[in-house]
Amino acid sequence: MVVLDLGDIPPESARRVPLTSWFRFRRAVEPTATVLLVLEQEPCAKTCASLVVRLQRIAMCASNAALLLKETEIHGWKVLSHAEPAIPSANEISHAALLQGMQLHAEVLRSWTQRKPVHSVGANFELRAAW
Amino acid sequence: MFACIYIPDFPVAAIIRVEPLLRDRAVAVLDGKPPQVRVAALNDKARQLGMNIGMTKIQAAIFAIPQHEGDTSATAKSDRKKKSPPIELDSQRIKAQSKPAAAILRQRSTAQEESSHAALLDVVHAFTPRVEDTHPDRLLLDLDGLERLYGPPSAIARELASRVSTLGLDANIGVAANSDAAMHAACGFGGVTVIPAGEEARRLGVLPINVLLDSFEITGSNSSENSTAAREREKLSEQMFDTLERWGVRDFRTLALLPEHALAARLGEAGAHLQRLARGATMRTLALCEPSVRFEEAMDLESPVETLEPLSFLLNRTLDQLCTRLEARALAVQELTLRLQLEPRVGDEQAITLEELAGASHTALLPSSGPSGTIATEAQRSQRNFLKDTPCSKPARSELEGCLHGKSLSFEYSNGNLYARTLRLPVAMRDSKVFLKLLQLDLSAHPPGAPVCKLWITAEPAIPRSAQRGLFLPVTPEAEKLEITLARITGVVGERRAGIAKPLDTHRPAAFRMERFVSQTESQTTEASPTLSGWATKAPIALRIFRPARQVRVQVSEGRPCNLVPPARNEEKDALQGKILWSAGPWRSSGDWWAQQSSAQHSTEDAQVWDREEWDIALASGKNGDVVLYRIYRDIATGDWFADASYD
């Protein structure tokens, strides 16, 4: 797998990569068993991409989120308490809060192998912190 | 049976081996220090032009190519133009001009001769281990037991000739029942000569007597003999030649027919030995030599090379020769060292004080443990090479060695400077094109900075790798192609910026070292990665680290960050700012403060003092109201805040 990380690059700059370059990449990868994965803020490989997946963060998991729970809900942002917190939720010491992970939603925008589905195809999955 | 390989006009052959285009030209090799520069060797075409060994440089220059034809025999030509007075050698000049091709003059190169000799030894050692290193231009082989492998003696001789010709050398091969007869046959007859047992006297009879005296001079002298003994032997040989000349003895047969006792009475034991040699009746044991483990090719350049392109041609030739030698010994290269002798700048003679060298050696001779081990080994090697190959006199060398071992002496070295590059290959390989490409990429990234006068390429031999891989393993790129690709990437992104990031054994955040990329071996690929065993169901969260960390301004309320404020000046448009919705921390860490005192002795990579207070924050970005997770930290020493990474 070859990963090209353009996540830090603004979409205006990433769009400047000409379409021919993306086709060249595709041609180089096509006859091999290699996967070329491009991470970017917006899809810019256009029709060259065999599969376009949009990832969206939907929730954050923390060990103790009682303090700011209300405020974050206003912003459409959920802070979920961990199922079994190591520290009780009543503990309001600042470092009691601990980032545990994130929940993401992946949605297939386009796929060459499948016909365009009638409705959106997506799935949720969770990323966990290493600690 | 014994065989002898003889390279006629060896100094010329060594030069032609490096410059194959000279094969069809008349070449003369000059030797000696000015003003006593004379022709030391020449090939048959040069002899046909009328050149002789012992000619002065000015006399030889008459036969050389005119300046406007653009050949590289610059030394002789420029000297002829500048220094030599007009000499009346009209007859010789006319003779030279009437010939279709003129001679090319080259300075004698002992380095090239040594390389050619070593190459010859490599080829012969691949043939049989029983080899006598008789002289730089001739080798003796014991052929006993080789008939089963190569057939009759004539087939062996032909095989030998073809193997030597792969080196770019034209050899005469002599095969006979005794070693001396084989040597005389090789020296006296061109091509391949096989003398059946018992016919030595008859076949060798036609050879001129000077062939006998040459070999007598060579075989009689030992390597342990000093120069005085060698000179005495040479004198004795000359005296005998004069005596035999006066007697009218001009070939082997005449000498062989002389009465033995009378000859011994007049010429002594040496005379009797000469007669036995002429009859082909001597028998001696070969002094066998060990195969060399050092593979080095050198090339002296007539005029300094300034650009990379012509240097690449020279590198190509040298690498081809090196790979041929390695192929003969069925070896590959694990490490390749290129050393270039650079032209000293005019008016700016480079002076190396011994204090500097001693200081360098102090760092270089650190015990090779830990991450600095590679550096220490490399420095030691370069130091050894420097000492070994620095062209300076013996007393100066001893001074230099003394200084490198810590003595403080003052020594000025102005014979030019050396530039060395080392290629360490992940797998043993033997493709000269790959080496050339790697050296080109390396030199384009690190140009020598001065014209090149001489080059050496040394190969560290290794056992070739086996190409067999697992049947069901994924196909990986060829090691050679992968190495070139990596070298290209390194050329673009810079040294030590391509490879595999290996975490250091420290708690310092984002501490890693770039190591060279090596494709995984079979055993590694089949093993499950231990770090992922606990994450079979949940993927780990990823951090996108900012390098360097971005400085931010943070408002703190009740000991915790509550707001990222925009910078005072509107310098950074994309600076992080916004309200902190959620925060976790602080997580305090510090380290390497114990190494602060001795930081001068450590590399900066290993000891960087850190003392920080980390926070994980959820920041409401200004534009779309998106919430992004960041890791920020406060440097305790300075009190500044930095954004370290974002959670992807």
Residues B416-465: pLDDT tens digits?
588 888 888 878 888 889 899 999 988 888 888 888 888 899 998 888 87
Test B620 with A75 for CB contact under 8 angstroms.
Answer: yes
Find chain B residues with C-beta within 8 A of A87's C-beta: none
Q: Does some domain include residue B176?
A: no
Here the tokens at position B210 are: 């000077």
Kindly state whether residues B356 and B413 are assigned to the same domain: yes
**Is residue B457 located within the same domain as residue B566?**
no
Domain boundary, last residue among B287, B317, B338: B287
Given a contact cutoff of 8 angstroms between Cβ atoms, the answer to whether B441 and B456 are in contact is no
Residues B310 and B430 in one domain: yes
Please state, in angstroms and rounded to a whole number, the distance separating the CA atoms of residues B153 and B2.
9
Domain that holds residue A29: 1-48
Domain annotation covers residue B97: yes
B241 and B363 housed in the same domain = no
Phi/psi of residue B180, nearest 5 degrees = -65, -40
- The total number of structural domains in chain A stands at 2
- Name the domain boundary from B444, B469, B494: B469
Residues A62, A91 within the same domain = yes
Residue B586: list chain A partners with CB under 8 A. Answer: 94-95
The pLDDT of residue B449 is 82
B302 plus B237 within the same structural domain = no
> Of B74, B108, B142, at which residue does a domain stop?
B108
Q: Are residues B211 and B305 in the same domain?
A: no
- Do A44 and A78 have their domain in common? no
**Is residue B239 located within the same domain as residue B382?**
no
> Do A11 and A60 fall into the same domain?
no
Residues 6+ apart with CB under 8 A from B69: none
- A122 and A60 in a single domain? The answer is yes
Kindly list the strands in the beta sheet with B332-342, ordered across the sheet, starting from the edge strand earlier in the chain: B295-305, B452-462, B332-342, B417-429
Complex ipTM value = 0.79
Q: Cβ contact (<8 Å) for B541 and A130?
A: yes
Q: Is residue B127 part of a domain?
A: no
| Same domain membership, residue B319 and residue B224 | no
Q: From CA B239, how far away is CA B231, in angstroms rounded?
A: 12
Whether residue A14 is found in the same domain as residue A43: yes
Q: Which residue of B has its CA nearest to A64?
A: B584
43-82 in chain A: CB under 8 A from chain B? 57, 60, 62, 65, 68, 71-72, 75-77, 79
Is the domain of B329 the same as that of B423? yes
pLDDT single digits (tens) B104-160: 888 888 888 888 898 889 888 888 888 988 888 889 999 888 888 888 888 999 988
Select from B544, B584, B647 the Cβ nearest to the Cβ of A102: B647
**Are B323 and B449 in the same domain?**
yes
Same-domain pairing of A65 and A36: no
User: What is the reported pLDDT for B605?
Assistant: 53
- Predicted pLDDT of residue B411: 31
Asked whether residue B218 is assigned to any structural domain, the reply reads yes
Distance (Å, whole) CA B320 – CA B326: 10
Indicate whether B76 belongs to any domain: yes
Number of domains within chain B: 4
How distant, in Å, are the alpha carbons of A5, A9, A110, B344, B639 from that of A21?
16, 17, 20, 47, 46
Buried b vs exposed e over B460-488: b needs ≥16 C-beta within 10 Å? bbbebeeeeeeeeeeeeeebbebbbebbe
Domain match, B306 and B445 both: yes
For position B66, what pLDDT does the model report? 56
Q: Do A72 and B587 touch (CB under 8 A)?
A: no
Look at A127 and B587 and tell me if their CB atoms are within 8 Å: no
Classify residue B162: in a domain, yes or no: no
**Contact status, residue A105 vs residue A122, Cβ threshold 8 Å:** yes
* Residues A70 and A41 reside in one and the same domain: no
Cβ of B586 and A94 within 8 Å?
A: yes
Q: Which residues of chain B have pLDDT under 50?
A: 67-99, 348-415, 522-523, 525-536
Cα–Cα distance for residue pair B517/B531, rounded to 1 Å: 20
Cα torsion through B392, B398, B399, B404, rounded to 10: 100
In a domain, B427, yes or no: yes
* Domain encompassing residue B102: 19-108
Q: Which of A37, A51, A54 is nearest to A116 (CA)?
A: A51
Q: Is B524 a domain residue?
A: no
Per-residue pLDDT of chain A (131 residues; tens, 9 = 90+): 899 988 888 888 988 989 999 999 999 988 888 899 999 988 888 788 888 998 888 777 776 645 444 444 544 455 554 443 333 343 355 566 777 778 888 888 888 776 666 677 788 888 888 77
The C-alpha atoms of residue B64 and residue B79 are separated, in whole angstroms, by 12
Q: Which amino acid is at B420?
A: A
Q: Are residues A65 and A44 in the same domain?
A: no
B575 shares a domain with B442? no
Residue A31 sits in the same domain as residue A65: no
Are residues A111 and A66 located together in one domain of the fold?
yes
Residues A28 and A4 in one domain: yes
